[in-house]
Amino acid sequence: MEKNEETPLFWFETSNSVCSRHQFQPDGQLSVILVDDSRPLYQKVAGSFMNKFFPSGYPYSVNEGYLRYTQFRAVQHVTSAAMSVLSTQSLLIAAGLRPTPAQATAVSWILKDGMQHVGKIICSNWGARMDSEPKRWRLLADVLYDLGMGLEVLSPLCPHLFLEMAGLGNFAKGMAVVAARATRLPIYSSFAKEGNLSDLFAKGEAFSTLCNVVGIGIGIRLASTICASMQGKLVICPLLSAIHIYSVSEEMKATPINTLNPQRTAMIVTDFLKAGIVSSPADLRYKENLLFPVRLEDAGNVRVGKSLHEVIKPSKLVELKQVFPKEKFLLNRGGKCIDMVLKQDASGEDALRGWLVAAFAAQTESSSHELSASVLQDAYDKMNGVFPVFLKELQRKGWHTDRFLDGTGSRFAF
């Protein structure tokens, strides 16, 4: 008896006026064929744009705030690219040349050498601080970049200082490039909701490239018209820079960084002690101070980063180790703050435990210049009572508690 050939398994799916035929091939691969697309042209173009420049599964595959981040990122790259064309044109004029806008665009690739490399080397020494405060350093990177381009734009006003102006400008831009690249991955990681970091990174870089091309086109147009004179540049460039910095600031405010650092830990502990809630990364993103992170009194006013010998006298060390025999942190009052020193292998959970102890101790003995063993012991017992629930809620909200990024690298070991 002959065996009937198996009928290929296929089905049709219809969604938003789009009909597609899905079928499994003999090799097990799934093929999708578009059968009918009755959407208006503008919807087709928008859908194609979303597929090329947004992560697969958007908006469900990314964390809250990604759209706002992307909107301001577009403005940032367009304004930055336009300013780059104008600054390069000014540099060449200061050097005695009269380039066309197109020549200015081409030569801009050559002028990135020299002092820029020195700036890159110097800025690389602050990598740990960039891990701790990626949003602040990303904002600082764009301020430095605009400062560098500003020097280039002003160079025609003092052509006898051409080398100095161009060198300082490229030095600032070199530092900016390192800071921007170093903070890119932590920022992308904060949006990767489903482990889709590579997809997010690829689409984000493609979108940046598109915006840069648009910005270069606008820069060429401005260089040929309004900014053909120095007076025009002095009006347009500050305006572009202001829009650029504002856009970066809004990008960073929309970014929900989910790693623990001193500022975010202090805000988490403050909310927990005052309202009994655990804030999520999305809750804190607009509360972070991007320029000057401040210590919070309600969170114990903790200071992290000093070395062990700066914080604790040898006579006090034995007493503290008796209070915290198995912990990877030590606490001691230093003026108006409570200093916390972490052990070399301390994790984010250890830092959270220490921070809670400091906060409870500060509530009990706010007027004393020293933390007595009895106060610390009482605060330690309170911390142990609430910590399991506190930690579980933190992890549920998406915080990475496996590490603590203090940005200094000052730890102790026995």
Question: pLDDT above 70 covers what percent of the chain?
Answer: 80
Omega before 59 within 30 of 0, i.e. cis: yes
What backbone phi and psi angles, to 5 degrees, belong to 332?
-160, 145
pTM for this one?
0.77
Query: Residue 2: its pLDDT value, please?
Result: 44
Helix H segments across 63-196?
A: 66-94, 101-107, 115-123, 127-132, 134-154, 162-191
73/267 Cα distance (integer angstroms): 27
Least confident of 22-26, 81-85, 172-176, 317-321: 317-321
Mean pLDDT of 99-116: 58
pLDDT score of 150 more than 80: yes
- 68-86 residue pLDDT tens: 998 998 999 899 888 888 8
Mean pLDDT of 7-17: 69
Helix (H) / strand (E) containing 31: strand 30-37
Asked if 24 and 47 touch (Cβ cutoff 8 Å), the reply is no
Asked if 342 and 350 touch (Cβ cutoff 8 Å), the reply is yes
Mean pLDDT of 2-10: 55
What does DSSP assign to residue 22?
E
Question: Binning pLDDT at 50, 70 and 90, where does residue 329 land?
Answer: confident
